[in-house]
C-alpha cells in the first residue's frame, strides 16, 4: 500500500492544487507540505484529519492503511457483484438525507451491508405501489 507521503502528493495532484495553495488553505507553509510529501517529516494527527477532510477521504486511506478512499466506496465494493443492488446504491448514496446511513454502515460486514440494502429496497418497492 501507499505511504502517507505518496498519498498526499497523489491527492494534491489529482485535485490540481499546488503546495503553496494547499499550505495556504491549511494554514501551514509550503516547506511543511514539501517535507510531508518527501517523507522528511511526520504530520500530527490533527493535520492528517484536516487533510482527510479537505480531500474527502478517510484518514486510513491517507495513511495507506486501506486502498478504499471512503466508507461509500467500501459499500460500492460490497454490492458490486449484484447489478441491481449496485445501481440502487449509486442512487441512494447521492441523497444528502441519508448521510447518516453511510456513517452507520461503515463498520458492517459486506454481508450485513447487502442485507440492509435489500431491506431498504423492499421498503422502496412497497412505497412505490
Which cell numbers in the block locate residue 19? 503546495
- 33 has pLDDT over 90: yes
Say how many domains are in the chain: 2
Which of 62, 86, 111 terminates a domain? The answer is 62
| pLDDT tens, position by position, 34-47 | 999 999 999 999 99
Domain that holds residue 75: 71-127
Residues 54 and 76 in one domain: no
Q: pTM higher than 0.85 for the full model?
A: no
DSSP label at 97? G
Residues 80 and 57 in one domain: no
Provide mean pLDDT across the span 90-111.
77
> Distance (Å, rounded) from C-alpha 34 to C-alpha 80?
38
DSSP label at 98? G
pLDDT bracket for residue 99 (50, 70, 90):
low
Which cell numbers in the block locate residue 129? 405501489
Amino acid at each position: 500500500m501507499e505511504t502517507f507521503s505518496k498519498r498526499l502528493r497523489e491527492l494534491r495532484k489529482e485535485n490540481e492544487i499546488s503546495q503553496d495553495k494547499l499550505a495556504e488553505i491549511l494554514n501551514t507553509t509550503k516547506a511543511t507540505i514539501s517535507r510531508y510529501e518527501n517523507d522528511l517529516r511526520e504530520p500530527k494527527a490533527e493535520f492528517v484529519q484536516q487533510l482527510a477532510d479537505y480531500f474527502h477521504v478517510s484518514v486510513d486511506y491517507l495513511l495507506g492503511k486501506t486502498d478504499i478512499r471512503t466508507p461509500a466506496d467500501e459499500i460500492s465494493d460490497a454490492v458490486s457483484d449484484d447489478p441491481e443492488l449496485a445501481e440502487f446504491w449509486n442512487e441512494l448514496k447521492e441523497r444528502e438525507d441519508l448521510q447518516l446511513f453511510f456513517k452507520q454502515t461503515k463498520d458492517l460486514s459486506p454481508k450485513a451491508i447487502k442485507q440492509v440494502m435489500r431491506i431498504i429496497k423492499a421498503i422502496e418497492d412497497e412505497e412505490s405501489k
